[in-house]
Amino acid sequence: MKDPKDVSSHAWSVAQAVHNLATDISQFSEFRFTSTQRLFVIRPAADSRQVAAVEFGTNYLRRAVAHAYANHDHATRRSFYSKIRRDPRFSLPAGQIYEIHVLLWFRHARNTEFLTCTSNATGLPQLKLPACPRNLKFFSKPQELDKIYEPGRPVCWVPTSETLPALGAVVLTNHSVITVQISITSNHDAKNLGFEDIYRNLPPHLKTKPRCHVFITDSEFNAESLQEQNLTVPGGTQVFAAIADVEELDSKVAITGDRLEALEKDRVSVYWLRTIRHLLGNLAGTSTRSNGHEGMLGKSVPVRPGDIFR
């Protein structure tokens, strides 16, 4: 067993490093301080082994940094985010923070607010992507979407499963089915997004609605580049992009510790519900296997989301 004093000392050191990081990222830019070893994992970037890419070491650390970030005022958050956003080594943490801002906007913005989405395709009118105040929900598999029925009220469904890693959300309105990807990069493919699984499992009244795919990003350059990719989207799906920078999102819906806690609680509750169902299925599977039938023991256990990050 670990010495409680060592555990306490380590926890204090991590908390201090997290606070310092969220206060002033510049002191960590050269990774000279030993405290950075408690926060970061540094690996070669996916597209070049000559470039370092920074990740937080664990879900716990990502959650701790997110809360430290949220506990600062707007000006400090803006300074912190702008610095990591400009540093290509921090693209993954910056993208994760950006995604939190977008999800909080969906959940807490006024019901009259929307993101204006434009398309590179000739003749397509603008699309209004609505906020879904108090109507953001989580789902662990596409089959859970087949019982949706909330006429007159847009709903934002956010996947928790690693089987849909590239999908940011599915927004359902009276007029359309909108799949969403959230990205601060200029290249974010829609391959393996699970379009067909999503569309196939929608309730009948939504299957005939127009289908749109929206990239939410933070710059005009990214918005144009993302739409110009050779996207593998189903026929008839119209592709759009919406620009929303962090300062705008944070001004409209400030990131706070309470809002993060609520988002985490809802995501984790979906995990536990799925886990309980999985365990009950295993018990039933054990019984059927004893009778010569195949049970559910071979199915994978859902991955536990340690926080709001996937």
Map out the domains of the chain as residue ranges: 4-103, 104-252
Concatenated DSSP letters for 17-43?
HHHHHHH-GGGGTT--SGGGGGTEEEE
Dihedral of alpha carbons 139, 141, 145, 147, sign:
negative
145, pLDDT greater than 90: no
pLDDT at 126 over 50: yes
Which one has a higher pLDDT value, 8 or 90? 90
Whole-prediction pTM = 0.80
Mean pLDDT of 100-119: 96
Q: Would you state the structure tokens that stand for residue 300, as one six-digit string?
A: 């994978």
Please provide the distance, in angstroms rounded to a whole number, between the alpha carbons at the two ends of the chain.
30
With 50 as the cut, is the pLDDT of residue 211 above it? yes
Distance CA 135, CA 263 (A): 12
* pLDDT on residue 268: 82
Higher pLDDT, 24 or 290: 24
pLDDT at 289: 45
Average pLDDT (145-156) is 81
Mean residue pLDDT across the chain? 78
Tell me the C-alpha distance between 299 and 52, whole Å: 37
173 vs 285, more confident = 173
